[in-house]
Structure 1
Amino acid sequence: MVKQRARLIYNPSSGKEMMRQQLPEILDIFDSAGLETTCHMTKNSDDTVEAAKRAAEEAYDLVIAAGGDGTVNEVVNGLSPFEVRPLLGILPAGTSNDLSRALGLPRDLKEAARRITDLQYKPLDVGQVNDRFFINIAGCGRITEITYEVPSRMKTALGQLAYYMKGLEKIPQLGAIHLEIEAASFGFSGKAMLCLICNSNRVGGFENIAPDANLADGLFDVMVVKQASIPDMIRLATQALRGEHVHNERVLYFQTEWLKVTSKEKVELNLDGEYGGTLPKEFRVLKHHLQVVV
């Protein structure tokens, strides 16, 4: 029997360094299941992307991203340019783990590793923005800058609490930005608090930010929040906890497979929790571009 070849790419500082602590047991689970696994410990984002590229070039059957949504994003950016792409596996060792939760993966790393050995998979859409890729969320607006402004050491020490602390610090800066959005059946020009381009229903721990989102339907779910006061934004966040925000008069919500977002000012883009450059940007869905082990 020919063994399946797996490449485990792991971020040692993700979450509270859970992956570093449990690595020997996880490798034993893979070995016992007949997965011939080699490891790569990431050093920075470019290193992670390159490690995934090498795995695709060397025709690995499976590439496992162990870390948070940022690590998964980097692995996806390494795999996506290739014509033939390995299966994607995920070990949710990060702070929010939005994608893995949307996929229904176990939060326990050893249980997630056992699921991977079953090699049951399903198709997964990938978002493309210019020459980069994202798997869960692209967003712009002052509040979306929180995730990549939180230092890694703070996330390691405090977990999700680090984002809440940064959010409180950001409240006085939550002003509106100018956005122009063009899509096949939608247009917007004006001031907005944020724009979220979602592939899944989960963003920043909120379970129903995009209630109609589906990871394999070939569509983005886009939410635009029009200019609002700070009290209105706090009220909107409360509604978002219950999935009721899409009925708010300040929220525009639509689905599309393509859109272009521009601005008259400098606006930064967040891709799966990481800095993604500045507008203007063009977004499109690559339907069923990857196969993810579930």
Structure 2
Amino acid sequence: MRAVLVVNPKATTTSERSRDVLVRALRSEVDLALRYTRRRGHATELAREAAEEGVDLVVTLGGDGTVNEVVNGLMTAEPPTMRTGTTPAERLPALATVPGGSTNVFARALGLPREWPEGTSMILEGLRLGRSRTIGLGRADDRYFTFCAGFGLDAAVIRRVERARRRGRVSTPTLYLRSTVSQYFLGSDRRHPTITLERPGEPAETELGTVIVQNTAPWTYLGEREINPNPQASFDLGLDVLALRRLRVMSTTRTVTQFFAQNPDPRGRQVLRLHDAAEFTLVASRPQAFQLDGDYLGEREKVRFTSIPAALRVIC
């Protein structure tokens, strides 16, 4: 089996020594080529090249941003015609992800351990046993995502966190909490919701304050705790949506508290939820912050979301 390991050398929780250990472990199972990312977006190029070279497996070592880039490279590749099938998962190389970031939502959603040594062991076992899973993806306009997207408040929080990290701050649950509180009270126009959700054949849902889109559950983690706006979201189904119609202090606090419940089921007059949606479009009367898989992508006024079933085969 031919494989390519795409490494983000700035991955949060790994060192050069640990990368060497990982490489030796993988080479015990596969014919491995090692490729390092040098800039933002480079992992997309490396994964696309690997798929078009006809490799069988692409492995990532990095966080959710690295995984997202690799997935986009795979999904936009033109693999050799020797691979046939009716779905992308049948035509494209398999994906394995070794957790190396600070949160690793995608890897943990697949059931992989949080730490890279244990995650590597589970992947190696999956390779030996031929164990894999086919998952669906989400697509926002022309970009794919694995676990979540955000339009509005949560994306603005990520923008604030990324700015703090560029100033030298470490990504911690405390930083996210402080950024959320600051953005909510100081950075959001909570009185004038501007987002509309449009679905084919359905009435438009207007005056939404913020929208969370999930391709699986949980949405993210706060340390070890799962945060679950859409607990029924699944890699095996369409997209799930939670939107808040108003960002009032009491109703927003009550809804966010429900995200952390043992059996979360967020409800309320200000809550809109959709389950297993195939497609929808978000339109805003003024630009809104936008994120995919925890990566801030700027501001948008319109984004079309689509569920892509049977998109990738993952080793887990």
TM-score by length of 1: 0.89
Deviations 1:20-46 (Å, cap 9, x if unpaired)?
4510111121122x2122222222222
Matches within 5 A, 1:108-119: 108-117=115-124, 118-119=126-127
SS at match of 2:170: helix
Q: CA RMSD in A?
A: 2.1
Distance, in Å, in 2 between the alignment partners of 1:103 and 1:155 is: 31
SS at match of 2:72: helix
CA-CA distance at 1:269 after TM superposition: 1.5
Residues 1:97 and 2:104 aligned together:
yes
Residues 1:210 and 2:191 aligned together:
no
Counterpart residue identity of residue 191, structure 1: E
Gaps of 5+ in 2: 79-90
Query: What residue in structure 2 maps to residue 179 of structure 1?
Result: 195
Quick check: 1:145–1:268 contact (8 Å CA) kept in 2?
yes
Distance, in Å, in 1 between the alignment partners of 2:67 and 2:183 is: 26
Counterpart residue identity of residue 189, structure 2: G
Query: What residue in structure 2 maps to residue 200 of structure 1?
Result: 216
Quick check: 2:150–2:292 contact (8 Å CA) kept in 1?
yes
Distance, in Å, in 2 between the alignment partners of 1:161 and 1:18 is: 22
Distance, in Å, in 2 between the alignment partners of 1:23 and 1:161 is: 28
SS at match of 1:195: strand
Quick check: 1:125–1:285 contact (8 Å CA) kept in 2?
yes
SS at match of 2:285: coil
Counterpart residue identity of residue 43, structure 2: T
**Structure 1 residues 18, 25: CA separation in 2 closer, same or farther (over 3 Å shift)?**
same
Percent identity, aligned pairs only, is 26
Aligned residues: 288
Counterpart residue identity of residue 105, structure 1: L
Distance, in Å, in 2 between the alignment partners of 1:265 and 1:276 is: 16
CA-CA distance at 1:168 after TM superposition: 3.1
CA-CA distance at 1:245 after TM superposition: 5.0
Distance, in Å, in 1 between the alignment partners of 2:20 and 2:168 is: 23
Quick check: 2:4–2:33 contact (8 Å CA) kept in 1?
yes
Distance, in Å, in 2 between the alignment partners of 1:13 and 1:66 is: 10
Query: What residue in structure 1 maps to residue 174 of structure 2?
Result: 161
Distance, in Å, in 1 between the alignment partners of 2:58 and 2:282 is: 32
Quick check: 2:255–2:267 contact (8 Å CA) kept in 1?
no
SS at match of 2:92: coil
Deviations 1:78-108 (Å, cap 9, x if unpaired)?
1012353110101111122222121111112
Query: What residue in structure 1 maps to residue 56 of structure 2?
Result: 61
The equivalent position to 2:294 in structure 1, one of 249, 270, 273, is 273
Distance, in Å, in 2 between the alignment partners of 1:125 and 1:22 is: 31
TM-score by length of 2: 0.84
Query: What residue in structure 2 maps to residue 78 of structure 1?
Result: 73
Residues 1:226 and 2:237 aligned together:
no
Deviations 1:121-167 (Å, cap 9, x if unpaired)?
11110112221111111111123222244234678834333322322
